[in-house]
Structure 1
Amino acid sequence: MDLKKAIMEPRPLKARILMWADATFKDTEDINQATSTEDLERVLSSVFRIDSTDPKQRVLLELYMNAVLFSRRKKFNREQTSTLLSIFKRVHEANTDTPLNNAEQCFNYCSELLLCHSVRRPPFSIGLYNLNQMTDILKYFTNTYMRHYTLYKYIFTPQMFLDLTITYSGMSGDIDPEILSSSETQEGENGTTGENIDRNESATDDKKTTDISNTQPADNEQKNTELALDKTGAAKKVALQSLVQQEVKREMQLLSGHLEQRLKESTAQLNTILSSMETSAPPKK
């Protein structure tokens, strides 16, 4: 499986019956019997295996506690409370499954889970909630979890960093091949001169002095060539560095503009969903 595709694309979600999936009958009894906040935190921490001392986990614990308080206000039975907690857990897992924006997918997944528990059609769905209860749950989910969707995403998903690698084709190095070949030729000539000097060590002192004096221009020319190579390599590095900086700046500007546009579109889409939920909610009698 392609790792990049697994990270970039959220996995497909399928709704299924969740009654007693996480909180059993005994667990819901303990939840209903918890009268104080401390007792409710203890029970929920045990049921969902939450470390209450971890600040990040306490955010998740508060999500479940508010869901229980909502169930009590709506006078849900044990089956309805257990299912509601599991629905919130599954949607939260879908949210944190990817660091990318999948708000629409999470909202649709919650709607599908509610439909799966609001229509009696065994074994695919059960009639656990009526129409009014399903509407209340969806409105509560929209006004609580979806309004803080970005916050949950920021807390529970890892940060992604851009690892940028630029490859330039047709560039084998910083030194021009023509300059390098001329340098090798010059080094070969200097090497031949050195060999001639070694072979003529038995000659007179005047001859040695003449040979050494003849090699001095070659040495100076070699030093000048090395200096030219250093300057040429440094100039090429500066030019390449400037080119890389310009390309990185341009790509980062494009990426920043794309992310900003995606954020605006996601915000507008979420506001549209929230507005539709508020307008479609039945008036209270």
Structure 2
Amino acid sequence: MTPITEVEGRRLALSNLHKVLHPATGTTKGELLHYYATVSAAMLPHLRDRPVSFLRYPDGPGCQLFFTKNPPPGTPGWVRTTPVPRSKDPRARQVMIQDLPSLMWAANLVVEFHTPQWRAGAPAVADRLVLDLDPGPPATVVECCRVALRLRERLAADGLEAFAKTSGAKGLHLLVPLEPTPSGEVSAYARELAVRAEAELPSLVLHRMNRALRAGKVFVDFSQNAAAKTTATPYTLRARERPTVSAPVTWEEVAACQSPERLVLLMDDIAPRLERHGDLLAPLFDPGRAGALP
């Protein structure tokens, strides 16, 4: 029998609570749902008013994974959706996670949350820039941290403030709050940053997604600034053997990183970090911290 629970006045059917989703740690779906309820106050601002794409892994990361932008079958009528312009489907809509009931409904589907750099109502007008630092083995997040520190300096020289989070996979994400700016302009500026970083650190940085050149280097992926692209939302769990989280980190942690494990943050690490630091990405919502592209 599927348990029914009430969340802020909404009735939700939560299924398969004892199913193990992350085999390496024995993490169950019930524990996953508890995690999202616990971090919701920090996570919801990063989801709110943004069309959400889901990477679903209902039977765990070792089984079928599928990416969806369309509202899943059976989406409740009270879950908000928004028009999302697409060339192939001008009537397309996507889910928005506006509140705790919506978050728990989506979490029950077992998903990674992915969001664009713009908000509903202003498609393709970004309010943040993102750089995805992806290491090519044998490089690790340690090398990503070296590149992140250099990029932070470059951004600061242009009057922009960068914040860091783990990808929840192998790398690091840098996020920069912006005054509303067309996504095409943000993409062009982000590409310039990546090209300049490669010119300055040719033995460490790559700006092109060329697999043959990736070994031992950090690919600075600027493409996620395109209006049609998305990035793992802060605090989302990732479909990995362990319940890793795409979680904010301090610049002190980035500078001190000497071992990849230092920046592997698991589900159980996040609540204590929120108690200690609050949401390290809260400045993204402060209009006074938003910068203009040079």
- Of Structure 1 and Structure 2, the greater helix share is in 1
Between the two structures, name the one with larger relative contact order (CA 8 Å, sep ≥ 6).
2
Q: Specify the TM-score bucket, using the shorter chain as the normaliser.
A: under 0.3
TM-score, structure 1 normalization: 0.22
Q: Which has the higher strand share?
A: 2
